Chain A
Amino acid sequence: MSAAAPSIKSQPVYRPLEWDTAGASHLLFVAADDRPLLDRLLAAPPHGELAVVVADPIAAERLGKTTAAAQMVLRHDLSDGLKSLESIVQKAHMGLRLYLVGPEDAIWQAAGIAARYGMLSPEIRLFQTGTKARPVFCVHCRAMTRGVRTNLVDCSGCGRTLFVRDHFSRRLGAYMGFQIDAEEPGVKPPVEVAYP
């Protein structure tokens, strides 16, 4: 579900997901089993060919019997799902609309693949659902730390304790993290679960 108004302009806001009727064909990427949303979308599939790529074990199990899509690719994890998505996007034609459903880490990695093949924002709709865990980009060493649920995290690259900001980069698909105790070494606020 989309959060309330973001605290910072760069933080994405996700609108309720609808099919884009201007599209000639459609590709739905599912990285979390949001039942009400998926049932609603698949009960009224869009005009034009629909392909679905699932990148989540529970959704793969449940959506296996769906008949709304002309093409159904069932993968049980994100990395396989992203590979399948790329192989479809690689061969796809103008007129395609891409719908990305899942946690931010998954949908922004998928959006990055689409951008590599020349898709622009009017062709892509994203919707955040499932875990709120954040991908965090270290502004010091440029390493990515994924699945971050806390306000502070140790960078997977340089080990600095990073504060997870709301500042989001669409290009990197990640929130910015900076060293929390750079000015006063060792002075850190308590660690809290902020992104369940």
Chain B
Amino acid sequence: MAGAVVEYSRGRSTYASLRLSVLQFLADPQWLVPSMIAPVIFALVSFELFRGAGAYFLTYAILGAGMMSMWGQTLYGSGWATGQDREFGTLEPTVQSPTPYLYVILGRVLWNVVSGLFGGLIVYLVILGVAGGPPAVPDPLGFALLFVFVMVTLAAVGVIFAAFYVYTRYAGFIQNIGEFAFYIGTGCMFPVVLLPFYTNPISLFFPPTWGLDALRYLAIPGYQGFSWGFWGDLAGAIVTTAAYLGAAAALFRRVERHVLEEGSLAWY
């Protein structure tokens, strides 16, 4: 019966994980709702507070709230899915398969970022209904490309974050602490420069901080973000994202070693 051994494919494994995530989401799509509540509220409050700040403020609010939604979905989805792997007992057979768990996580994170787009879309529709349409983006193609890249920056954070869930069953509290700290720290809703100076370097550790600032430079004429401007933001986003993804493989190897030493894969 023993067949010829074939190698796993990183791309196929990532796609398989993404596909399974979609199927599981379709079986129970209610989890999209909690990740949208906070962004919609933040967006509406911001809009009411800064109603007179100009037409482009709408763009700012939509981008920020959309990003919050995407992050919420990434955070909940990626970490939660691994937590569920523990709960359902599927972490052991998945880790025991030839595919490194990193690629399983990657597939899930990609799906979660994409599903976060639905949340972003709903934020957009809510603000559209309340305040009317925002002004057109000056460079739609550049904006679209950068937007996709910002999704990659979010995925990079999600991958690293998911490692905590593999490492320990107690990662849930990190998720709860991290959610709002991240909203504030990355400047999703309020400019990072409003935060105390000492927090700024922490914000710069997150790839989406750079990516979102670059996106605003591109979408809002006259936007004043970080002093290094659009290209500096873009370079920072690329470097930090590459660093996160580069660290992910080594991190997952260490995490796997740790859980195999502890024998904690089946704990939930």
Q: Do A and B bind each other?
A: no
